[in-house]
Amino acid sequence: MSTIEQETETEEPTDEAAETAVESPGERRRADKQERTRERDQQRVDEGISESEEAITLKVFRYDPEVAGKEEPRFDDFTVPFHKGMTVLDALIYSRDHYDSSLTFRHSCRQAVCGSDALFINGKQRLACKTQIADLDSGTIRIEPLPHQEVVKDLVVDMEHFYDQMEAVEPYFDADELPEDELEEQRQDRENREKVKMSTRCIWCGACMSSCNIAAGDNEYLGPAAINKAYRFAMDEREGEQRKQERLKIIEQEHGVWRCQTQFSCTEVCPKDIPLTEHIQELKREAVKNNLKFW
């Protein structure tokens, strides 16, 4: 695996693959096949450009640990016909389906709720599906995987560490007690629901974690998303006081809320507008209040 710091820029796909020494017949076949595909792709790129009046250029990070010519990270250019309303995700899909079917990125819902396509677009963490090309105001768009995460291939990063941090805060509702009648709901007043509302919007995209300097330097730091998840439960009055105490202990640990230096980078990049830094600050205050109480 490679991290993004190792990137090098090269030109459009060349015939490197053919020149690379291959060992087994299978590998040779694959290399030949890849070469033919590239030629075909280049042809289609040329056709695409000539048809299009208005076009934009994507500069896309490429890396594949096992494919000749891609083991060293590089950037590929794709020229895509632009239409009004086109998002960065649309342009990536166009590039993949018309030029290079090996271009790899996660995406699913296309409407900013599945959280699959957080990418580093023109130097900022954004959801590709929610980013209008027109809003970027540049003819060339640079698209990279989320920084500070291991790159698996092209724009796909390994999310395991992010998921581990999320799970470290015991991210599940766990009330001290429930109504006895299985058909009776717990009561929650509107104010309390309102209080946790923003925190429940998290779509686990990982943009915040990727933007956070502290998380970059301290791999054990829970990070903004996980702390926000803890906030979501700690502030939910349905859980009860005992559970809240346990939750505060988790976020107060060495690599918890106190690591945050309120740089607001997470809040700035959150595609769901969750006030992450405020939530972290509020948990710090809760923790202090709590510790005073037990003195």
Partner 1 sequence: MYEHDVIVVGAGGAGLRAAIAAHEEGADVALVTKLHPVRSHTGAAEGGINAALREGDDWELHAYDTMKGSDYLGDAPAIDTFAQDAPEEVIQIEHWGMPFSREDDGRVSQRPFGGMSFPRTTYAGAETGHHLLHTMYEQVVKRGIEVYDEWYVTNLAVTDHDDPEDRQCHGAVAYEIATGNVEGFWARNGVILATGGLGQAFDHTTNAVANTGDGCAMAYRAGVPMEDMEMIQFHPTTLPSTGVLISEGVRGEGGILYNDEEERFMFEHGYANNDGELASRDVVSRAELDEVNAGRGIEDEYVDLDMRHLGEERILDRLENILHLAEDFEGVDGLDEPMPVKPGQHYAMGGVETDENGETCIDGLYAAGETACVSLHGANRLGGNALPELLVFGARAGHHAAGKDMKTAEIQTGPSAKSEDGDVAPPVEPGAIEAGGEGDVAADGAMVEPKETLEHTVQQEQDRIETLLEDDGINHAEVRSNVQESMTENVNVFREESALEDALRDLRHARERYEDVAVADPSRTYNTDLIHTIETRNILDVAEAITLGALAREEFRGAHWRKEFQERRDEEWIKHTMLAWNDGTPELYYKPVELESQWKEYEPKERSY
| Closer of 190 and 293 to partner 1 (Cβ) | 190
Query: Is there binding between residue 163 and partner 1 (CB under 8 A)?
Result: yes
Least CB distance to partner 1 at residue 66 (A): 6
Query: Is there binding between residue 114 and partner 1 (CB under 8 A)?
Result: yes
Query: Is there binding between residue 65 and partner 1 (CB under 8 A)?
Result: yes
Least CB distance to partner 1 at residue 226 (A): 12
Least CB distance to partner 1 at residue 132 (A): 8
Residue 161 host element (H or E): helix 160-168
| Structure letter (DSSP) for residue 220 | T
Distance CA 260, CA 258 (A): 5
| Closer of 108 and 213 to partner 1 (Cβ) | 108
| Closer of 83 and 285 to partner 1 (Cβ) | 83
Size of the site for partner 1 (CB under 8 A): 68
Least CB distance to partner 1 at residue 86 (A): 10
Which of 73, 115, 223, 224 touches partner 1 (CB under 8 A)? Answer: 115
| Structure letter (DSSP) for residue 139 | S
Sign of the CA dihedral 246, 236, 292, 166? positive
Query: Is there binding between residue 236 and partner 1 (CB under 8 A)?
Result: yes
Q: What is the 3-state secondary structure (H, E, C) of 60-125?
A: EEECCCCCCCCCCCEEEEEEEECCCCCEHHHHHHHHHHHCCCCCCCCCCCCCCCCCCCEEEECCEE
The b-or-e profile of 124-144 (16+ CB within 10 A means b, else e) is ebbbbbbbebeebeeeebbbb
The 10 Å Cβ neighbour count of residue 185 is 9
Least CB distance to partner 1 at residue 52 (A): 18
Which of 9, 19, 174, 246 touches partner 1 (CB under 8 A)? Answer: 174
Least CB distance to partner 1 at residue 277 (A): 21
Query: Is there binding between residue 107 and partner 1 (CB under 8 A)?
Result: yes
Cα R_g (the chain), whole angstroms? 23
Q: Which residue matches tokens 């060495």?
A: 254
| Closer of 44 and 289 to partner 1 (Cβ) | 44
| Closer of 239 and 286 to partner 1 (Cβ) | 239
| Closer of 251 and 260 to partner 1 (Cβ) | 251
Residues 261, 198: contact at Cβ < 8 Å?
no
| Closer of 60 and 260 to partner 1 (Cβ) | 60
Query: Is there binding between residue 121 and partner 1 (CB under 8 A)?
Result: no
| Closer of 103 and 260 to partner 1 (Cβ) | 103
Least CB distance to partner 1 at residue 29 (A): 6
Q: What angle do CA 128, 132, 137 make, to 5 degrees?
A: 115
Beta bridge pairs of residue 127: 118
Burial of residue 64 (number of CB atoms within 10 Å: 0-12, 13-18, 19+): middle
Would you tell me which residues interact with partner 1 (CB under 8 A)? 26, 29-31, 33-34, 36-37, 64-67, 85, 96-97, 100-102, 104-116, 130, 132, 152-154, 156, 159, 163, 167, 170-175, 178-179, 182-190, 193, 196-197, 200-201, 203-204, 233, 236, 238-239
